[in-house]
Copies of this chain bind each other. A is one copy, B any other.
Amino acid sequence: MSPTLTPSPIVATVDFEADGIQHGFLRLPYSRDDSAWGSVLIPITVARNGEGPTALLTGGNHGDEYEGPIALFDLARRLSVDALTGRVIIVPALNYPAFRAGTRTSPIDKGNLNRSFPGAPFGNPTEKIADYVTRHLLPLADIVLDFHSGGRTLDFLPFAAAHILEDKRQEAASFAAVAAFGAPWSVKMLEIDAVGMLDTTAEAMGKVFVTTELGGGGTATARTAAIAKRGTTNLLRHAGILKGEVERRDSRWLDMPSADCFTFSELDGMMEPLVDLGDPVVKGQPIGRAWPIDRTGSAPFEFTAKMDGILAARHFPGLVRAGDCIAVLGTI
């Protein structure tokens, strides 16, 4: 049987076509040693008020990123149907097993959801979620907002972003949505390795697609949570789904033009940062050091900037391992 004809095992307890607001679940059967007839219940909210565009809002694509889930649990609770025209579909914790565990990937199958698209109905649970999004949620949507942050191991300047696309009308609509979101920083991304991402899948279906990186470290702050909440409201207003005016904010556009932006460690050690997020750096400037931890008296390895720019992202944990990306520079 062709995969595209195999029905998804996931069943929604909400009716996507009903007016009003419903809080329910995507129920994903998951037979396992500790529950032979168990399932994973992914919380979902559908709010609809007659005809109009549909926004799909997702958080928890990676399970250790919190600005999106905070904004979306909050939105699901305070959304008034009367303020809507059209429909909002909210899934605040898309890879729910990962979100519940507080880990990037799913503890069930180690699946990285944003590398599992378009998914498969007979794959592992992560692939089943991707498939349901691809075949059941994305087709309902006109505009898609998928929240990300750095998670437990990276930290970012807060930005919203869209991709440079072949279809320039779609691209322009996406960047307009990014501007409406109004994060402190905005980014035009040229994705090189886009295999398996929700981004690519949504874009290939012609959707207006916005993503974010709003902080990191496996936590949220009052400041970054507020950015996520305001950005969500702005986006829905921009899309004509939510009543009210977009609250415009200054946002600086940031570029990551080349491979010189990225610094990888080639050794294990303890990270000593020499610049913080947002600090300007010039080419050749030391930006961090990796200390060997097995003895005192050894020289640290010093990382230097390969270009002028500002520090846009960094490795978060105090220890670094060979192969880790330890810094990303951006240009304004």
Indicate with 1 or 0, residue by residue over A53-77, a CB within 8 angstroms of chain B CB atoms: 0000000001011100110011011
Most-contacted residue by chain B among A38, A112, A151 (CB, 10 A): A38
**Shortest distance from the beta carbon of A108 to any chain B beta carbon, whole Å:** 9
Asked if B152 contacts A33 (CB within 8 A), the reply is: yes
Contacting pair B217 A297 (CB below 8 A) = no
Could you tell me if A318 and B64 are in contact, using CB atoms closer than 8 angstroms? yes
Q: Are A223 and B276 in contact (CB under 8 A)?
A: yes
Q: Which of B65, B102, B291, B324 contacts A38 (CB 8 A)?
A: B324
A305 within 8 A of B: no
Chain A positions within 8 Å of B, measured between CB atoms, are: 9, 21, 23, 25, 27, 29-41, 43-45, 62, 64-66, 69-70, 73-74, 76-77, 90, 92-93, 99-100, 102-105, 112, 115, 122, 150-155, 193, 195-196, 217-223, 225, 264, 266-268, 270-276, 279, 291, 293-300, 315-319, 321-325
- Cβ distance A152 to chain B, nearest Cβ, rounded Å: 7
Interface contact A291-B217, CB-CB below 8 Å:
no
Q: Which chain B residue lies CB-closest to A267?
A: B294
Asked if A297 contacts B23 (CB within 8 A), the reply is yes
CA of A318 to CA of B104, assembled, Å: 12
Interchain residue pairs with CB less than 8 A apart (16) = A36-B153, A38-B323, A45-B296, A45-B297, A69-B270, A69-B293, A69-B318, A76-B297, A90-B296, A92-B296, A99-B293, A102-B318, A122-B195, A155-B219, A222-B275, A225-B272
Distance (Å) between the CB of A107 and the closest chain B CB? Answer: 9
Q: Identify A294's interface contact among B41, B225, B291, CB under 8 A.
A: B41
Nearest residue, chain B, Cβ from A275: B222
Q: Is the interface of A mostly helix, strand, loop or mixed?
A: loop
Contact A294 B43 (CB under 8 A): yes
Please name 15 further chain A to chain B contacts, defined as beta carbons within 8 Å, in addition to the given A35-B315, A222-B273, sorted by A numbering: A27-B264, A27-B323, A34-B153, A40-B323, A43-B293, A45-B296, A65-B318, A66-B270, A69-B291, A69-B318, A77-B300, A93-B293, A102-B319, A222-B279, A267-B294
Query: What is the chain B residue whose CB lies nearest that of A107?
Result: B33
- Residue pair A25, B266 in contact (C-beta under 8 Å): yes
Within the complex, the shortest CB–CB distance from A142 to chain B, in Å, comes to 21
Quick one: given A318-B64, A323-B27, are A36 and B154 in contact (CB under 8 Å)?
A: yes
Whether A266 contacts B295 by the Cβ 8 Å rule is: yes
Contact check, B31 vs A219: say whether CB atoms are below 8 A apart. Answer: no
Shortest A200–chain B CB gap in Å is 13
B23 touches A295 (CB 8 A): yes
- Contact, CB under 8 Å: A37 / B74: no
Q: Shortest 6 CB-CB distances between A and B: which pairs?
A: A23-B297, A39-B323, A66-B318, A37-B325, A76-B296, A45-B296
A294 contacts across to B, CB distance below 8 A:
41, 43, 267-268, 322
CB within 8 Å for A219 and B318 given contacts A32-B104, A36-B104: yes
A154 neighbours in B (Cβ, 8 Å): 36-37
Nearest B residue to A66, CB-CB: B318
Tell me how far the C-beta of A305 lies from the nearest C-beta in chain B, rounded to whole angstroms.
14
